[in-house]
Amino acid sequence: MIKIRNFAFIASLVTLFAGIWLLLEYHDKIEAARPLSLSYELLGAKPISMPISQTQQREKQVVKGMLITSASSYEDLTEIAKELQERYKYKHIDYIQLSVHNPNTGLYEDLPYEPISKAMLQISCTNQGQSELRTNKSIVVTIHN
C-alpha cells in the first residue's frame, strides 16, 4: 500500500515538472516570435496640468513633447503610439501630443534631431483626453508631406 502511494506521488511530481518545463519552452518560443519594439526617444515630454475651466479645481494632465525615431510609416507610428498609450495608461495622463522627428543625420550639429517635424501623434488615455481629439479614435497619427 505504501509503495503504491509513493509511486503515485513520484508520478505526479514527474508530471508536474514535465508540465512546467513544457510551459516554459512554449513561452520562450512565443517571446522569440514576438517582433521587437520600434526604437524611439522622447524629448521634453513632461506632464503639465492645464485648466479645463476658469477655476483651478478641474484640470487635465497633458504630455507635450517630441518623439525622435527613424520610423516613418503610418503603421510603425501607430504601433509606437499604442506603446506610449499603454505606458501612460495608469499615470493619470489624459492626453499626449508629440511631434515626430527624424534622428540627426549630421546636418545639424547642436540638435539630436532634425528640426522639421515629419508627423504628429495625438493619443488620448482617458475620456477627458478623448474630448481633446474631437474624434472617436483614441490615437490620431498625422503624417506631414
The answer to whether residues 10 and 74 belong to one domain is no
The answer to whether residues 66 and 84 belong to one domain is yes
The answer to whether residues 62 and 8 belong to one domain is no
Provide the CATH number for the domain around residue 45.
3.10.310
Domain span holding position 96: 41-143
Q: Which whole number is the average pLDDT over 113-131?
A: 86
The answer to whether residues 73 and 138 belong to one domain is yes
The answer to whether residues 54 and 84 belong to one domain is yes
The answer to whether residues 75 and 55 belong to one domain is yes
Number of domains in the chain: 2
The answer to whether residues 93 and 133 belong to one domain is yes
Instruction: Tell me the HSE value of 88 on the side-chain side, using a 13 A CA sphere.
Output: 24
pLDDT number for residue 58 = 67
The answer to whether residues 77 and 135 belong to one domain is yes
Which amino acid belongs to residue 33?
A
Question: Between these two residues, 108 and 132, which has the higher pLDDT value?
Answer: 108
pLDDT number for residue 19 = 85
The answer to whether residues 105 and 62 belong to one domain is yes
What are phi and psi for residue 103, nearest 5 degrees? -65, 155
pTM of the predicted model, to two decimals?
0.66
